[in-house]
Amino acid sequence: MLNLILAVQDHAPAAQEHASGPLTVEGGLMFWTLVVFVVLLAILKKFAWPAILGAVEAREQALERQLAEAARDREQAAALLAEHQKLIAEAKAQAHAIISEARGVSEKDRALAIEKTRQEQDELLARARREISAERDRAVAELRREAVDLSLAAASKLIEKRLDEDTDRKLAMDFLATLDEHK
């Protein structure tokens, strides 16, 4: 054991002389690193690489499908939006047409109502004028009768004799008619 310790001590200064640093190249370490790398690369190529590529390709296909579906959905949404806007425009046009038609009907009804009211007013006015004229004519006739009766009564008093009523009335009416003609 002592020999071993001495051998290690003899090699220690040599190991210290060949001390490794981050920039020193050791051939054995490099060889084994390359061997491990190649073996690991071969194992990954045989087992992991196909699985990784399959997963990546599956993911890529899934993304392409989703992009295609999104594009199709966007086109459908655009078509639905266009149809919706068209329906809104048609509804607005119909609403404006209904409003215009209602205004036209309202104006016609208003004009008819005004015309009907005007006709009724004219009829009432004409009837009132006729009634006033008839009342005036009746009043004038009544006044004439009364005037004739008063005239006859006054004349009778003057003459002290009662004349024939029909003859007297005819004379008075003829006299009043001549007065109307002189006006």
pLDDT of residue 15: 46
Q: What is the 3-state secondary structure (H, E, C) of the chain?
A: CHHHHHHHHHHHHHHHHCCCCCCCCCHHHHHHHHHHHHHHHHHHHHHHHHHHHHHHHHHHHHHHHHHHHHHHHHHHHHHHHHHHHHHHHHHHHHHHHHHHHHHHHHHHHHHHHHHHHHHHHHHHHHHHHHHHHHHHHHHHHHHHHHHHHHHHHHHHHHHCCCCCHHHHHHHHHHHHHHHHHHC
Instruction: Please report whether residue 20 resides in a domain.
Output: no
172: pLDDT confidence band, cut at 50, 70 and 90? confident
Instruction: Please report whether residue 35 resides in a domain.
Output: no
Instruction: Please report whether residue 94 resides in a domain.
Output: yes
Does residue 131 register a pLDDT over 50? yes
Neighbour-count burial for 115-139, b at 16+ CB within 10 Å, e otherwise: eeeeeeeeeeeeeeeeeeeeeeeee
pLDDT of residue 164: 67
Q: Are 156 and 163 in contact (CB under 8 A)?
A: yes
Instruction: Please report whether residue 60 resides in a domain.
Output: yes
Please compute the mean of the pLDDT values over residues 77-92 and round it to a whole number.
94
Number of domains the chain is built from: 1
pLDDT of residue 18: 57
Instruction: Please report whether residue 16 resides in a domain.
Output: no
Instruction: Report the predicted TM-score, pTM, of the whole model to 2 decimal places.
Output: 0.39
Q: What's the pLDDT tens digit per position in 16-73?
A: 455 667 788 888 888 999 999 999 999 999 998 898 899 999 999 999 999 999 999 9
pLDDT of residue 24: 82
Q: Are 167 and 146 in contact (CB under 8 A)?
A: no
Does residue 102 register a pLDDT over 70? yes
Q: Are 162 and 168 in contact (CB under 8 A)?
A: no
Give the least confident one: 97-106, 111-120, 142-151.
142-151
Please compute the mean of the pLDDT values over residues 85-112 and round it to a whole number.
93
Structure-model confidence comparison of residues 116 and 165, the more confident one: 116
Instruction: Please report whether residue 133 resides in a domain.
Output: yes
Instruction: Please report whether residue 63 resides in a domain.
Output: yes
CA distance 100 to 118: 26
> Containing domain of residue 52, as a range?
48-182
Please compute the mean of the pLDDT values over residues 156-177 and round it to a whole number.
68
Please compute the mean of the pLDDT values over residues 121-125 and round it to a whole number.
91
Instruction: Please report whether residue 158 resides in a domain.
Output: yes
